Amino acid sequence: MKSSRTNIGNAHHEIEEIGPVEGRRCRFFFVNIFPWGDSTTGAALDKALQGTGGQAIVNSTVITSLYGFVPIYNVLSFTCTTVKGVAVRFD
């Protein structure tokens, strides 16, 4: 873990680097009518930080994808959001 000082607004803060994290959340659709799950960026971010003690992610990448099975009839489809980056904690 690395630690550094930076300015956020008018205050000086100590930032501790926790390490690389990744979180993925998906939302499913059955017959394109019945949705379940949560594929928002916030949900993927929460999943990535879960259990790390981190408060934010820096150097991040957000990827959203959509998958469909039997696309003519939309029997089952789902969309996923993946967040990757480095978790940090502020003093």
User: From CA 9, how far away is CA 68, in angstroms rounded?
Assistant: 45
User: 51-82 pLDDT, tens per residue?
Assistant: 999 999 999 999 999 988 776 777 888 999 99
pLDDT at position 73 is 75
HSE at residue 25, side-chain half, CA atoms within 13 A, is 17
pLDDT at position 70 is 73
pLDDT at position 68 is 84
Mean pLDDT of the chain: 87
Backbone φ and ψ of 46, nearest 5°: -60, -40
User: 5-15 pLDDT, tens per residue?
Assistant: 665 666 677 88
pLDDT at position 76 is 86
| pTM of the predicted structure, to 2 decimals | 0.80
